[in-house]
Structure 1
Amino acid sequence: MAAVGNRLGDATSPYLLQHADNPVDWQPWDDRALALAREQNKPILLSIGYSACHWCHVMAHESFEDRDIARLMNERFINIKVDREERPDLDRIYQTAHQLLTRRPGGWPLTLVLTPEDQTPVFAGTYFPPRPRGGMPGFADILRQVDEAIREQPGAVAEQNAALRHALGKLSRAPDEGGASALGNGPLRTCRDALAASFDTVHGGFGAAPKFPHPGGIERLLRHYALTLTTDDEPDRDALHMACYSLRRMALGGLYDQVGGGFARYSVDEYWMIPHFEKMLYDNALLLGLYADAWHATGDGLYRRIVRETAAWTMAEMQHSRGGYFASLDADSEGEEGRYYLWTPDEIRGLLDDDEWALVEHRFALDEPANFEGRWHLHVQASFSESAKRLGRPRDQVVALWESARDKLYRAREQRVRPGRDDKVLTAWNGLMIAAMARAGRLLDEPTWVGSAEQALDFVTERLVDSEGRLHASWRGGRAAHQGCLEDYAFLLEGVLECLQSYWSDSRLRFAVGLADTLLARFQDEDSGGFWMTADDHEPLIQRPRPLADDSLPSGNAVALRALQRLGHLLGETRYLEAAERGLQAASGALARMPEAHASLLTALEEHLYPPEIVVIRGNMEATASWRARALKYYTPNRLVFTLPPAARPPGLLAERVAEEGAPVAWVCHGSTCRPPARTLDALDEVLDQSGGSS
């Protein structure tokens, strides 16, 4: 039989290209590879990962570059590589299958063996060493055993496959009528209490190590605090404390890159000290928006600094020259995890003057034992105020010393071998960062950040939208690839709505309407409500997921429902509002059972129960600047502010908002209830004060 050969050399994914020279006959997931498995009656060895994944690299070096293991793989399997970032549908399905088969969560690399006829998993695991080690079975042994079991026990395999497919189908079904609950605010308060129960009062965050940022939970606490300002006798300041303390501890820890800005994916310890060093675009998008909101709610300068540094890092290291945002930075450089970020005290001492060194040594406790394999990863041990007291200097001088020292450390670090960058542009993740940069730029009055978001949105609309208005999921090197999923449409729609609040464009609004209409036409569950992860014309897979709970990303349903509600209220379009309500009703049972797992979906529920306040200001842009500043003065996450120039020609309800001769006019609406137009700034003040805008 002729050799199949490795077919990854023409891939758009940097992760797949990393494996193009393996002796394994890797195939991309496509009709040709699946047909080959059926024709040769070979099981499929499916490996799912991503380019910034440390353990993916380890398994590649240990097993996929080993010629003996590669020979075994090629003889007995059709080997398929998938980039989980390009194919989140496949990743979600097979991560779920892994959990059903092993009764424990998965991760990356994800390793499965599938039947050739219908791609049902027979075996699932994650990382395996090439040969038995540390109580773990060897990969080569697993391959032989699984292949033999498939061939020698077909009845048992068929029975397991039938049970697995039944379980996957059950997970995809909408709850029956008995599982639905009335839409009330109970889950909002239950979620807050559940987060409090898992809150780490010492180090911030939730749960034990390994510790993830959980941006959805923090956003929920911030919004819960804001909601109680208007609904309760006393605002829930404990909710605000849990959110802000968590953000503070993360910002001062090693999870945050103290020299270059930006956040790593998670911390391996409870202190936020040592991260898993990869930097993902989506983490930084979600956290950038959160820190901007935290600054807006508290005025704390730490949060403003983190926003500025993270935005600067995003534009400098993660943005294509034409605008799109890249996917990730690797955990490894020169074959070592975290090497790029680590220091020795002598190295730092040689870069700084005496005053700078005295501060840096104290601030990061460089006189204490090393915290990562004999070297130091910078983790703040003393605040600027504490260092000021120790050094006998005013605090502003200490801050200036750190800025000078940081610049020197950054320039020295730039001379090192940099971690690899996955430079593909993902539509969904770009939607998240577009929303975050536009929002942060609007709140902190930084037009450069808004411009960055606008450039990214232009990039996506020009390169990732086909002639029929459908989205591709990924772009790299001039080539768009893969059919867009729910997250692509939902996250991008939310990004467009944030951009419209920063800078109005009739064409952008039309694009938003097109995204919303595609969600309804292609992804909506017409029978039960809510949205499928894949479109109705998507490639048939063993499951059609219905994502409700958050994972590392907010759920596609959550973002779709809240974006549809906001667009529906803005335009007075009942189709969007009705679709959102049906989706919430379909998810009501899940919200009642475990609201803390659905934090992002609770935002959509909150905005259903307490419709967002839509402020539309129309008039000459220079004249309306002070009006918009007034509407944005306080932390009111349930308020959307749109400023339209006189020449705008929007559809729907907005068409009725007309300003005479460019003089500013503002309309303030809660749901379908609108107040008389405000024609002076004092009148706008009065309307906003009555709605709780002076909190």
Structure 2
Amino acid sequence: MNRLAQETSPYLLQHADNPVAWFPWGEDALTLARSQDRPILLSIGYSACHWCHVMAHESFEDADVAAVMNRLFVNVKVDREERPDLDQIYQTAHQMLAGRHGGWPLTMFLTPDGTPFYGGTYFPKAPRFGLPGFIDLCEQIADVWHTRRGDVEAQNRDLLATLAGHSARTGGPADLDTAPIAATGNMLLGSFDRDFGGFGGAPKFPHPTDLAFLLRRGDDPLAREAALITLTRMAEGGIHDQLGGGFCRYSTDERWEIPHFEKMLYDNGPLLGLYADAWALTADELYRRVAEQTVGWLLREMTSPDGAFYSSLDADSEGEEGRYYVWDRAEVARLLTPEESALAARRWGLDGPPNFENAHWHLRVVVPMRGRSAPLAPDETVLFESARAKLFAARERRICPGRDDKILTSWNALMIEGLAHAARVFDRPDWLAAAQRALDSIRGTLWKDARLLATAKDGKAHLNAYLDDYAYLLSALLELLQAEYRQEDMEFAIRIADALLEHFEDTESGGFFFTSHDHESLIQRPKTGFDSAMPSGNGVAAVGLQRLGHLLGEVRYLEAARRTLDCFWPQMQRQAGGFSTLLTALEEALTPPAIAILRGPAAEVGEWQRRLAGRREAIVLGLSNGMSGLAAALARPESTHVNAWVCRGVTCLPPVADFEQLLGHLQPT
């Protein structure tokens, strides 16, 4: 056993019996590297990562490779999901050193002080794919360290200087306008794939932040069409699990047909909210089915006994990527009646050539170019659902992919928000109860001494939380409050917002650092406004603080959000794309959203809330008679009938008792 056996990360525990003398990231490893003047071999990955498994089997489980690693380096293994701070820094450094994007596994060679001087991603044991063999590479890197120290140190000075300049710094208050919003809309529509949905070619990622940006463009039918086409084609594609629900991380092709099979909580939360929005706009039953299947997967496979949500499902099972998900024709024919088999073959492409590794079939709805799948007749629907249920039951008997069962605060927050929003839109109290239970679990386990922790497993919560943990949780709380107002949730939202300002805000330049002011000192302290696969923490923080500030009349929150926009304004002006979440904050800074406080009998308040659930352009709180302890900004007189109190920015209207009149007040100005 190496030094990983006591870790909480399932990914690190996968490597606990490697012959490599792994250390977790920490002072022990850094001190040893400094005392022995040895470079650090840093390997960053995560438990659901296919190529991480490949490199582990080829190299880290091999005694000969391990002997070379142990002789030459201090070896450090990091779970990128528990330590996104390290992953951000070293992915950025890799891009600077290699001139191309990184990925996982990330393999970096560091000086004893943690500065990287060479890196890559996957390396095979023996040379192939145009890559050097890992043993040879290790020997070469060690030789460079010992014989060309001056070159390494000179490169490090340049790298550290460049990293230091990477955090955004404001030039002062900005004259904000809508130009970046228009530029981003044009950029997205210019790269939109009209045939298959999404943006650009293969590989193709969902990009929920960009889809949400387009759906918000209510006055632009092309933007709305692009978002809906993408959501439709994803729902019909193989990236969506046609049997069990949930979405895989990305598609390897431009058609959404063959995914990289891992399923991540952080994708499925925002996508769930988007499919709820798509249904609210169109009433298309496809979107309802996708939402129901996604929640079914979440509650069946990803929910812990105390209600919080697990992190991910592996791409591999039985040592093969996708093995759990793909089919052979003979197996399908054996499980289904001839009528079911014929319909399934037509619907899912089983009557065509194999689409996975030229040997198996991965299910997706067959769609003609520029079209939609033909709707099923009522009798076909019954037959098709019978076939789906039989195949799902048979698949459940297979060896399941591994599950990463750690609890991550930020990823849970993304799912809580998506689930709470879907609960509002589809009027599903059971979904809302699941979202509230998850929130209560996070609050009980990961909120300690007025600070958040980043991760928990088997009752052990640890690691200083990051910007995303606070920002995403604030956003989730605002969504939960609109679904059902609980005073403890409002109090928690205020505590989260205050902690965000106290521990993360850059009071000199505006915006928020990714790590807290008392975090471990690293070679860089990131501060970025870009969306990645997940929304920008700065963007989510700005939106959440603005909305909470308007709700409570709290100027501190509004001013912090404005300083964040000022900080990133020069970047948003220079570059269209990548700032969709910050652009939501910009839009709401220029035109504050309508806020409606509903007060009256609980039944009437609830009915108005249900009728307003799909309206993202407004913030609606339902405060039924009898609620007490409300903040002064929320306290409205009780009434025998429902009244709506509408404010926008600093302008408030007289109470409204007519629902149609309320709708007029909520329209964007």
| TM-score scaled by length of structure 1 | 0.94
44, 58, 61: which one aligns with 1:62: 58
Q: Is the 8 A contact 2:209 2:580 kept in 1?
A: yes
| Structure 2 match to 1:255 | 239
3-state SS of 1:627 partner: helix
Report the residue type matching 2:250 in the other structure: Y
The residue correspondences of 1:114-513 to structure 2 (distance < 5 A) are 114-116=110-112, 118-176=113-171, 181-224=174-217, 226=218, 228=219, 236-373=220-357, 374-382=359-367, 395-466=377-448, 468-513=449-494
| 1:142-166 deviation digits (Å, cap 9, x = unpaired) | 1111111111111111100000000
Structure 1 residue 663: Cα displacement: 3.9
Distance 1:190 1:652 in 2: 39
Task: Report if aligned partners of 1:254, 1:378 keep a CA contact under 8 Å in 2.
Answer: yes
Structure 2 distance, partners of 1:121, 1:382, is 47
Opposite residue 444 of structure 1, the aligned amino acid is: F
| Distance in 2 (alpha carbons) for counterparts of 1:401 and 1:658 | 55
Q: Distance in 2 between matches of 1:650 and 1:586?
A: 36
Amino acid at match of 1:63: S
Matching residue of 2:524: 543
Deviation at 1:665, TM superposition (A): 2.3
2:33 partner letter:
A
State the partner residue of 1:571. Answer: 552
Q: The residue matched to 1:45 in structure 2 has which SS? A: strand
Contact preservation (8 Å) 2:326, 2:360: yes
- State the 1:355 CA deviation: 2.2
Which residue does the alignment assign to 2:653? Answer: 675
Note the C-alpha offset of 1:366. 1.2
Per-residue CA distance 1:289-345 (angstroms, 9 max, x = gap): 111111111111111111111011111111112110000000000000000000011
The aligned residue for residue 391 of structure 1 is: none
- What is the deviation of 1:122? 1.0
Q: Do 1:504 and 1:645's aligned partners in 2 also have CA atoms closer than 8 Å?
A: no
Unmatched tracts of structure 2, length 5 or more: none
Whole-angstrom CA distance in 1 between matches of 2:558 and 2:477: 18
Tell me whether 452-461 or 376-385 shows the greater mean CA deviation: 376-385
**Counterpart pick for 1:91 among 82, 87, 92:** 87
Amino acid of the structure 2 residue aligned with 1:380? V
Deviation at 1:386, TM superposition (A): 6.4
SS in 1 for 2:165: helix
Code of the aligned partner of 1:692:
Q
2:637 aligned to which of 639, 658, 663: 658
Q: In 1, distance between residues paired with 2:25 and 2:497?
A: 29
Return the alpha-carbon distance in structure 2 between the equivalents of residues 565 and 478 of structure 1.
35
| CA distance in structure 1 between the partners assigned to 2:81 and 2:349 by the alignment | 38
Q: Distance in 2 between matches of 1:567 and 1:547?
A: 22
Matched AA of 1:670: R
Preserved contact between residue 607 and residue 638 of structure 1 (Cα < 8 Å): no
Report the alpha carbon displacement of residue 640 of structure 1 after superposing the two structures with TM.
1.2
Q: CA offset at residue 605 of structure 1?
A: 0.8
2: CA distance, partners of 1:134 / 1:359? 41
Superimposed CA distance per residue, residues 585-627 of structure 1 (whole angstroms, 9 cap, x where no aligned partner)? 1111111112311111111111111111111112332231222
Which amino acid in 1 is paired with 2:344? Answer: V
CA–CA separation in structure 1 for the residues paired with 2:618 and 2:373: 38
Task: Name the SS for the 1:528 alignment partner.
Answer: coil
CA distance in 2, matches of 1:85, 1:460: 17
1:16 and 1:83 in contact (8 A); partners too: yes
Contact 2:106 2:121 in 1 (8 A): yes
SS of the residue corresponding to residue 654 of structure 1 reads: coil
CA spacing shift, 1:385–1:480, aligned 2, 3 Å: closer
Q: 2:522 & 2:43 partners in 1: Cα distance? A: 17
Task: After TM superposition, give the deviation of residue 175 of structure 1 in Å.
Answer: 4.1
CA shift in 2, pair 1:154/1:498, >3 Å: same
1:324 match: secondary structure? coil
Q: Tell me how far apart the structure 1 counterparts of residues 138 and 442 of structure 2 sit (CA, whole Å).
A: 41
Does the CA-based 8 Å contact 1:46-1:112 persist in structure 2? yes
Structure 2: distance between partners of 1:181 and 1:59? 48
The amino acid that maps onto 2:664 is D
Task: Determine the C-alpha separation between the residues in 2 that align with 1:415 and 1:249.
Answer: 29
Compare 616-625 and 550-559 and name the one that shifted more.
616-625
Does residue 10 of the first structure (1) align with residue 18 of the second (2)?
A: no
Q: Is contact 1:359-1:387 (8 Å) kept?
A: no
Note if contact 2:168-2:568 (Cα within 8 Å) is conserved in structure 1.
Answer: no
Greater alpha carbon shift after TM alignment, 125-134 vs 613-622: 613-622
Over residues 479-521 of structure 1, what are the superposed CA-to-partner deviations in whole Å (9 max), with x where a residue is unaligned?
A: 0021000000000111111111111111111110000001111
The 1:650/1:198 distance shift into structure 2, 3 A limit, reads farther
Q: Which AA in structure 1 matches 2:279? A: W
How far apart, in 1, do the equivalents of 2:374 and 2:533 lie? 36
SS at structure 2 position matched to 1:548: coil
CA contact (8 A) 1:573 1:652 kept: no
1:650 Cα deviation after fit: 4.6
Equivalent position SS for 1:550: coil
Q: Which amino acid aligns with 2:429?
A: P
Instruction: Find 2:600's aligned residue among 610, 616, 619.
Output: 619
Q: Which amino acid is 1:673 matched to?
A: T
C-alpha distance in structure 1 between counterparts of 2:211 and 2:569, whole Å: 21
For the residues of structure 2 that align with 1:649 and 1:152, how far apart are their CA atoms? Answer: 72
Question: Are 2:611 and 1:630 aligned?
Answer: yes
The equivalent of 1:231 in structure 2 is none
The CA deviation string for residues 500-549 of structure 1, in whole angstroms up to 9 with x for no partner, is 11111111111100000011111001011110000000000000000210
Task: For residue 639 of structure 1, report the CA deviation from its aligned partner.
Answer: 0.7
Return the offset for 1:653.
4.1
**1:15-46 Cα deviation digits (max 9, x unpaired):** 00000000000001111121111122211110
> Once structures 1 and 2 are overlaid, which stretch shifts more, 10-19 or 379-388?
379-388
**CA spacing shift, 1:101–1:440, aligned 2, 3 Å:** same
The more displaced of 478-487 and 615-624 is 615-624
Q: 2: CA distance between counterparts of 1:149 and 1:521?
A: 44
2:34 is aligned with 1:45: no
Residue type of the alignment partner of 1:626: E
Partners of 1:631 and 1:111 lie apart in 2 by 49
Q: Partners in 2 of 1:654 and 1:320 — Cα distance?
A: 37
Q: Would the aligned equivalents of 1:505 and 1:648 in 2 still touch at CA under 8 Å?
A: no
Matched-pair contact (CA < 8 Å) for 2:208–2:274: yes
**Alpha-carbon shift at residue 385 of structure 1 (Å):** 9.1
Using the aligned pairs only, state the percent identity.
51
The letter of the residue matching 2:46 is Y
CA distance in 1 between partners of 2:51 and 2:611 (Å): 50
Partner secondary structure for residue 335 of structure 2: coil
| Runs of 4+ more than 2 Å apart | 382-388, 629-632, 645-656, 662-665, 690-693
For 1:454 and 1:529, how far apart are their aligned partners in 2?
A: 33
Range with greater deviation from structure 2 (395-404 or 143-152): 395-404
> How many angstroms does 1:387 deviate by?
5.9
Q: Report the TM-score when normalising by structure 2.
A: 0.97
Q: Which amino acid aligns with 1:422?
A: D
